[in-house]
Amino acid sequence: MSDIETLAPETADAPAEGLGAAKTGLTEALLYLNGVTVTFDGFRALNELSFTVDPGEMRAIIGPNGAGKTTMMDVITGKTRPDKGDVYFNEGRTDLTKLDETEIVTLGIGRKFQKPTVFESHTVLDNLRLALKGQRAALANIFRKETAAERERIDEIFETIKLTEHRDRLGGNLSHGQKQWLEIGMLLAQDPKLLLVDEPVAGMTDAETAQTAELLREINANGHSVVVVEHDMTFVRDLGVRVLCLHEGSVLAEGTLDQVSANERVIEVYLGR
């Protein structure tokens, strides 16, 4: 029996309180999805999807095209509302299905889309400054002098994303891999509890791919939970974390990469193709 099955019934009647409030005591997970279904014109993109992410955990999600990985991210970030099912954050305290996208970002869920979207005509440093100060009043923010604490945080993030010596270059002049790292750094500036990262190594060289695995491991070791969607199995192996394989909107297999890769259904629908 999964944790979800064990935990859900005994608290199913607990009252919800206020906007986004949820069922305290439902789960100890940071992120809890239970029975999430999303239908587009009668087609089930997510079909009773259930899984959890623990505080401080990094999790890799694999699966064939159309398995529902993007839709799952869209549900977590409030872009898509589920037809049914539970989506809770913060040990069951917050019902994400009641919040809009901005409220979910403010709660501490950051999302990195597949394509890098840095400000190409700003320096790498200004990209991070903007992210640290928030996107509102963007121009005014660039010219406001940072506090010592902000400068220290920027230096720390540059160390983590290994772009210290590139801080004065224009964002547009970075390599594809460096842009991806900068954008991950911009997310870190918001200090999210949970980072959702969609196919970060697509288009990267082998060396950049290995460095990205190291970067995500370091971010995770610093206390951020991470959910990474990726097709590159070398990269997933480098992450060394639990893997969830989605297929037709549900969990097909879950475990270590070796366990999931040995699953006959996973080989049939995904790895063996």
Per CB under 6 A, residues contacting ligand ATP are 40, 43, 45, 63, 65-71
> Is 53 or 67 the residue whose CB approaches ligand ATP more closely?
67
User: Shortest approach of ligand ATP to residue 26 CB, angstroms?
Assistant: 26
Nearest to 93 by CA among 19, 194, 200: 19
User: Shortest approach of ligand ATP to residue 62 CB, angstroms?
Assistant: 9
> Is 146 or 248 the residue whose CB approaches ligand ATP more closely?
248
User: Shortest approach of ligand ATP to residue 66 CB, angstroms?
Assistant: 4
91, with CB counted inside 10 A (0-12, 13-18, 19+), is middle
Helix (H) or strand (E) holding 44: strand 43-53
- Tell me how far CA of residue 182 lies from CA of 144, 178, 251, in angstroms: 21, 6, 32
User: Shortest approach of ligand ATP to residue 40 CB, angstroms?
Assistant: 3
> Is 80 or 160 the residue whose CB approaches ligand ATP more closely?
80
Residues 6+ apart with CB under 8 A from 154: 125, 128, 129, 132, 146, 189
> Is 68 or 85 the residue whose CB approaches ligand ATP more closely?
68
Token readout for 173 is: 């002049």
d(CA 143, CA 64): 46
> Is 192 or 249 the residue whose CB approaches ligand ATP more closely?
249
d(CA 213, CA 273): 25
User: Shortest approach of ligand ATP to residue 63 CB, angstroms?
Assistant: 6
> Is 188 or 195 the residue whose CB approaches ligand ATP more closely?
195
User: Shortest approach of ligand ATP to residue 68 CB, angstroms?
Assistant: 4
**Entry field: residues in the chain:** 273
Token readout for 259 is: 């366990």
* 272, β-bridge pairs: none
